[in-house]
Structure 1
Amino acid sequence: MALIDNAVYVGGRRVESPSTLSLATRGDLAWIGLLRPDPSELEAVATEFGLHENAVEDARKGHQRAKLERYGDTLFLVLRPAWFDSRAEAVEFGEVHLFVGDRFVVSVRHAERPDLAALRARVESDPEFLAKGSEAVTAAVLDEVVDGYAPVVEVLQDQIDTIEDQLFAGQVDAGVSKRIYQLLSEVLGFQRATTPVPAMVKGLLRGADKYGVDDEVQHRLRNVLDHALRVTERVDSFRALLENALTLHSTLVTQEQNEAMRRMTSASLAQGEESRQLARAAHRQGEEVKKISSWAAILFAPGLIAGVYGMNFDDMPELHWKYGYPAAIVGMLLLMTLLWAWFRKRNWL
């Protein structure tokens, strides 16, 4: 069964803890606590206290936004408690629905937290305050939820400070970017949970005189409003800081990429210049080789002719020819000239 606690109060003191939900005509105040009730249990409570079907449907489905609605003489509040889960390193959210009538309060939780049993014990320890009726219970639950926001705010502040330190230190790795997005997502969820609360409390205060709410309860509500406004202001500033952090991170990443491109371009230019220098050196070397080869060929030509006529064979008619020597010299010069002209034409000389 989803029934966590069920009590009837007279003069702010518990006088009965029934095991059933039939409480409407008993005592000054009935306070029923339910955890993840099934539809039949919610229907029984709705029948007992005449709850509006739309509010009952919202409580059955869950996953509602924080809000305050009035159905005749019954108030319906949806609160989104928050806490930081150190194991998951993330902000977690619960959901508490309150049905508040003249002589009853029905609390429906969809998560283990907050522990309303501990809150009930604290409220019961102050019978004078509890005797002020269902409005006192409503103010106490609001106070409990809003006070639970403070530790979350401090954890988020510490994590944002860490992100800012990393960014100002020039860290632009992917882990920083991922953490900024995670934090921004958590802050947006936290903002959705906390932003409606001040308007809800103001709505309760506006109707306080009309419905004869005790001054002490009003004072408690004004204290809750003050805390809620401080929380929402901090959360708004967190969102702005993280959005600026995203912009700064993107700028740093862009600068890092531009610097890397400049380094790559400089290295490429240096490599290109080195390649050009090597190519010029190879070209110069090739030109020198061509020149040397050309002159070697030119000088080889007369040596070829001289070598033939230096064989001293007996049967060589040109050895006894009167014009043999001049003819050999002319042949050498002619062959050298032809080779020189041909190499010049090929730009080897």
Structure 2
Amino acid sequence: MTYSIHARVAASLAVIDDYLASLRATAPFYHDILGHAYRGLEQSALGGKHLRARLVHISAGDVSGDRLHAATVFGACVDMMHGAFLIHDDIIDRDDTRRSVPTVHAAVRDEYGDGHTGNSVAITTGDLGLTATIGILLDSAVDDSLVRAALAILNAAVERTIIGEILDIAHSIDDDRTLDHVRLSNHLKTSDYSFSAPLKLGALAAGRDSGLMGAIGRELGRAYQAADDIAGAVGRSSDTGKTALGDVIHGRATLMTLRMGSYAADDPRVVADIVADVVEEGCGHLAEARTLIGEARLSPDIEDGMASIVSTIEKTLIAHV
């Protein structure tokens, strides 16, 4: 590989940083709560592992000039969108920490002594992040035809993610939810925006057919969510950066908790068997992803990058076995 994915991701993050700086600079009035919003966006979008921006650049491959600029902007868009979704997700999941620091709603709640104020600021901060996603794209020098195509991919991803989150909430209060119900909401809320959309945007930037990437992203996303469900049920705060056993404590419907029922959390042997089942399910999706990657006839650098993503997810999946 003659280019650095790390350097390209850093360039995408610089686009986000510049855009958020412009938001601060053009604010019509400053208030401490607005400061919380800006800091929340920065922490959510600029922190973390930047998997989604990385996927854009892996999928784009060895590009330069306008194509590289498009990939850089698209990488910024997906990480900004991810940051916005995290802020909303933390409210839904009642998580007070993210990456071992207070979430937006928790920080505001604790400072002002009111949960409603905290939730209100976090909701509007996440909304601001979603508009920033579009703003980054519209303010760029990317060709208008690519902007329109990218907007279609991003908008579809946002719609599916929101529907998936709504179904996820429904499954948490529905007595007759099933594993297939959870699999559907997992797919909608994770696979598209975290995997399929970034891979499609990378192909779009490179001038390739982006359709081939959708199915690959679907399988990667399902495996990734399986790993996340395991971590949410048995992971440690030091590893996840979130509340330990959060999915169990809050009664969330996941691939783990639906198998655990109301009794298994206290039986290590039963939990180990359930983890093994979810790992097997996730590894099945990774096997399908490997097949699809091989059938896509990608260039060696893109194929190697995709293989590294598969390997990373696989390590996360088996971490608790």
Both proteins in one fold, TM over 0.5? no
* TM-score normalized with structure 2 length: 0.28
Identify the structure with the greater helix proportion. 2
The structure having more radius of gyration, on CA atoms, is 1
